[in-house]
Amino acid sequence: MANVPSAGWAAADPRVLALAAQVTESKEQDIPLLLLKLKGILNSASLGSEESKKIKQDVYNYDLTQYCMLVLRQDHSRLRGGWATAAQLAEILSHCCVGLEVKEDPEEFHNKFLPSAIDNLLFLGRRLQARFIRTIKDEEKQDFLHWFQTVADAICWLFGGHIQLATCVLQNDHFLQLLITDDTETAIITMSILHSIFRVNSSVLLRVDEETLHSILDELVYKLSSTTNPVIGNAATKLLLLVAKFCKQLVKLLTTRYKGLKGLLSKQWTGKGFDRDLGQLLDLLYLEQSNGKGEMQRQHQAACIIQATWRGFQTRKRLKKLPQAVTTLQRSFRAKREQELQHLKKQKEDESLKLQMQLQRQRAMRLFHERQLAVLEIIHASQVNKYMEEMEGKSALTIQRFWRGYRARRNFHQQRQSLKEYKAAVVIQRAACKFLEKQRRRRPLSPWKDPKGLTDERRLALQQKVDDYIKLHPASQMSEEMSKELHVQAQEKLAEFLLRSRLDQRAAQRREMLMAQVNTDVELLMNAPGLAEAAEKDLDVFLSRSIPVATKARQSHNTMLKYTRWPWWKKLGVEFEEDDVIPDDALHAELGTLFIGGNKSF
């Protein structure tokens, strides 16, 4: 809760007062975004002016800085604004503390509040560093690195305004954890904080305890010995040089505690782009060891420079001959990184799907139990046992049905090969039968031959029997008009028979084609993979890859629809046609939708 200003204080800034009231009455998750308004209030006054000091004093009096410091301890991944808000609040907190003159109880401000603020800022920096290391995506890594840099600048700004905080920073466990990291980007930023501490207070290392001093120097020397990154080497070398320049007492510690440091610096880091700082550090170390070996050191250093130049020339010469190796290495690295990203994406999708399935099962089970309880409430007590027996019977039938279905599917998958062979044999037999039928139809009819064994006497006897039968059964007399009418009726019947036979033949052909198409589609569906195993390429089997076929099928379909919608007076000209028989044009249009493979495109 905000402090109430005493009577001796001047009138508070109305913006600060209104913001303090909003923070006091708001929910906990809305406080971080409200505190961001302090940035606009602080920027409204020029830096170092009396108005700026008055605003900072009001912010501190109404405990808004306390709110900022407490918010930094929260997990911002679950709060509104995220880690960007936390970084901005860290910057606001440092600006509020620098230039603030506390008149009432200044010891509490300098001895408790400021060390707590430094501790919270370093704790926030550790969280951002851990998030940066765990993040894989480049955009998110850049965001976390930017926020980590903002927090580091806030820390430097804070101990730059209060020099006594430099000792608190070095002795803080969070700062040592930030420094002890294998990540290059965050390590460079952390060493820049250490560099700023040495610049602000050169004698700070003499004020810390021996364990902290040894930990910092051990980490700097370890970075020089464990990495080949010239940026890390340059930063560590500059830090050791500052230590050696400003604290002469520590030069002896460097030479005695780290006996191989000079050899490490001269062999591994010579010719890396910071030879000037490296040379100064080596001169200081050698001068401490022996003042009479300065010339030897310079000769040794000159020899190292010559060797480094020659080795660099040889290395560049070899690299010019190895562009393909570098390209292959980059390609493999990018492929591996893409594979890792895909694997993580798939893993997240699988976890999300698994969670959804679990929720669906739980929801279905809960609904089932609710319905069961509702039914039990409706049923009379005497009928409960009977109802439970019926439910057990239905449950047993359901379990049996699922088991039989599973067993049938398993047997079907086991017999799929034999079924494919059987289907192939059927298709071959059908094609052979159709081929033989076509061959039989193409054979010419044999000419009429007289019956063998019929002699002239037998022919005369048969003719006599025909004449006798005609005399006994004389035919009725028919006029010429009746004969013509009978002839016309006979011709009509013959035409109707021929038309019906042709239409029946075409309908039979159409049925055979449709059966072949259905059998082919059934075979494709039986050979298709399951839904869980289906891929995008499996869909191409059921789609026509021919644009003319698809266009022809669409036109034929539209023609058939138009024919079915004809009025009755348009169909009067079609003679001897039944309702279920399709005309030749419509039949050809429908058969035009078929193509090799048995698939259809509409």
* Domain layout of the chain by residue ranges: 1-162, 332-407, 482-602
Q: Is the pLDDT of residue 513 over 50?
A: yes
Q: Is the pLDDT of residue 315 over 80?
A: yes
Distance CA 549, CA 595 (A): 7
For residue 182, what is the DSSP state? -
Q: Does residue 305 contact residue 271 with C-beta atoms inside 8 Å? A: yes
Reported as a pLDDT band with limits 50, 70 and 90, residue 160 is: confident
- Classify burial at 528, counting beta carbons within 10 Å of its beta carbon; exposed 0-12, middle 13-18, buried 19 or more: middle
Distance CA 72, CA 88 (A): 10
Which is higher by pLDDT, 118 or 553? 118
Place of tokens 């239409």: 503
Measured CA angle at 486 (ends 483, 490), to 5 deg: 135
- Contact residues for 183 (Cβ-Cβ < 8 A; gap 6+): 129, 132, 133
Q: What tokens does 467 get? A: 């004449």
Q: Does residue 119 contact residue 174 with C-beta atoms inside 8 Å? A: yes
81-116 burial: b if 16+ Cβ within 10 Å, else e: bebebbbbbbbbbbbbbbebebeeeeeebeeebbbe
Distance CA 316, CA 310 (A): 10
Q: Is the pLDDT of residue 448 over 70?
A: no
Half-sphere exposure of 95 (CA within 13 A, CB side): 21
Task: Give, in order, the Cα–Cα distances in Å from 463 to each of 58, 421, 448, 456.
Answer: 143, 63, 20, 10
Q: What tokens does 160 get? A: 């730059």
3-state secondary structure of 4: coil
Which is higher by pLDDT, 462 or 47? 462
Q: What tokens does 218 get? A: 């051990």
Across the range 545-570, mean pLDDT stands at: 74
Place of tokens 């562009």: 323
> What tens digit of pLDDT does each residue of 208-234 get?
778 887 888 888 888 888 888 888 888
Distance CA 205, CA 80 (A): 40
Q: What tokens does 129 get? A: 């560093």
pLDDT of the residue at 140:
80
Reported as a pLDDT band with limits 50, 70 and 90, residue 282 is: confident
Q: Does residue 236 contact residue 195 with C-beta atoms inside 8 Å? A: no
Handedness of CA 543, 547, 552, 558 (dihedral sign): positive
Inter-axis angle of helices 294-320 and 275-289, nearest 10: 150
Helix (H) or strand (E) holding 587: helix 584-591
Reported as a pLDDT band with limits 50, 70 and 90, residue 338 is: very high
Q: What tokens does 553 get? A: 């099928």
pLDDT of the residue at 295:
56
- Classify burial at 263, counting beta carbons within 10 Å of its beta carbon; exposed 0-12, middle 13-18, buried 19 or more: exposed
Q: Does residue 20 contact residue 2 with C-beta atoms inside 8 Å? A: yes
Q: Is the pLDDT of residue 428 over 90?
A: yes
Q: Does residue 224 contact residue 233 with C-beta atoms inside 8 Å? A: yes
pLDDT of the residue at 429:
92
Percentages helix, strand, coil for the chain, rounded to the nearest 5? 75, 0, 25
What's the whole-number average pLDDT of the chain?
78
> What tens digit of pLDDT does each residue of 165-176 get?
777 887 778 888
Task: Give, in order, the Cα–Cα distances in Å from 348 to each of 341, 393, 446.
Answer: 11, 41, 79
Q: What tokens does 255 get? A: 């030479």
Region class of 448: left (phi > 0), else alpha (psi between -120 and 50), else beta: beta
* AA letter at 267: K
User: In terms of Cα–Cα distance, which of 310, 312, 320, 252 is closest to 286?
Assistant: 252
Number of residues written out for the chain: 602
User: In terms of Cα–Cα distance, which of 288, 290, 297 is closest to 244?
Assistant: 288
User: In terms of Cα–Cα distance, which of 13, 130, 129, 113 is closest to 69?
Assistant: 113
Q: Is the pLDDT of residue 569 over 60?
A: yes
* AA letter at 462: L
Least-confidence region, from 42-51, 149-158, 591-600: 591-600
Distance CA 578, CA 576 (A): 7
Task: Give, in order, the Cα–Cα distances in Å from 488 to each of 430, 483, 492, 501, 574.
Answer: 43, 9, 6, 20, 19
- Contact residues for 136 (Cβ-Cβ < 8 A; gap 6+): 340, 341, 344
Q: Does residue 170 contact residue 114 with C-beta atoms inside 8 Å? A: no
Distance CA 587, CA 506 (A): 8
Reported as a pLDDT band with limits 50, 70 and 90, residue 2 is: very low
Does pTM surpass 0.75?
no
Q: Does residue 204 contact residue 170 with C-beta atoms inside 8 Å? A: yes
